């Protein structure tokens, strides 16, 4: 959800920049590519700023960290100053107010014993989350080929161990026959 929101805002920003620089029309694919580049650039700047803040022993980045990260990407403070002076008075605000970022959505709460009117063990309060459906945890194979019988599980495990040991011995003898040493003395 937050990615869709970021992408839609980036598309509007790219379209407004294109309009401000004199473009009348723009293809959808060009707007999508430029929006993607904008988001990647911003994430790079933010990650670098965060890294500079952590190196300085702070948990949040400040303006100095952002300027350092921009300089790392080849943008100097003079470049920023000249860009601000060129763009003075040409700002185009968004047509609508933006929702707060990041977008938070409410996940549905899992049902409780009380909600489901379900019997529960006496030592578990009814306001806690109910147990999942029994089919999700009873007689469910842990992996494909998992055996329910403990003896059969042990036989499968021993077979896998024996196959592994045979492979290791085969590799060891192949290295010995080729004249290469597997183990080196230090």
DSSP label at residue 117: T
Looking at the DSSP assignment, which residues form a beta bridge with residue 44? none
d(Cα 141, Cα 63) in Å, to the nearest integer? Answer: 54
Question: For 133-169, how does the pLDDT look when each residue is reduced to its tens digit (9 = 90+)?
Answer: 877 777 666 666 666 677 887 888 888 889 888 888 8
Question: For 66-104, how does the pLDDT look when each residue is reduced to its tens digit (9 = 90+)?
Answer: 999 999 999 888 888 888 887 777 666 777 777 777 777
d(Cα 82, Cα 86) in Å, to the nearest integer? Answer: 6
């Amino acid at each position: 959800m937050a990615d869709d929101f970021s992408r839609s805002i980036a598309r509007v920003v790219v379209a407004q920049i294109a309009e401000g620089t004199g473009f009348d029309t723009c293809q959808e694919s060009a707007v999508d590519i430029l929006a993607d580049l904008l988001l990647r650039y911003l994430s790079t700047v933010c990650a670098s700023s965060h890294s500079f803040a952590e190196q300085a022993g702070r948990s949040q980045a400040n303006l100095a960290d952002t300027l350092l990260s921009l300089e790392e990407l080849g943008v100097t403070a003079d470049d920023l100053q000249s860009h601000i002076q060129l763009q003075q008075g040409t700002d185009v605000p968004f047509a609508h107010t933006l929702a707060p970022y990041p977008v938070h959505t409410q996940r549905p709460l899992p049902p409780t014993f009380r909600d489901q009117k379900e019997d529960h063990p006496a030592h578990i309060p009814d306001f806690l989350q109910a147990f999942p459906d029994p089919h999700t945890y009873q007689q469910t194979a842990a992996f494909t080929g998992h055996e329910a019988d403990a003896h059969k599980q042990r036989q499968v495990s021993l077979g896998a161990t024996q196959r592994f040991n045979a492979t290791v011995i085969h590799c060891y003898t192949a290295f010995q026959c080729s004249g290469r040493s597997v183990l080196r003395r230090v």
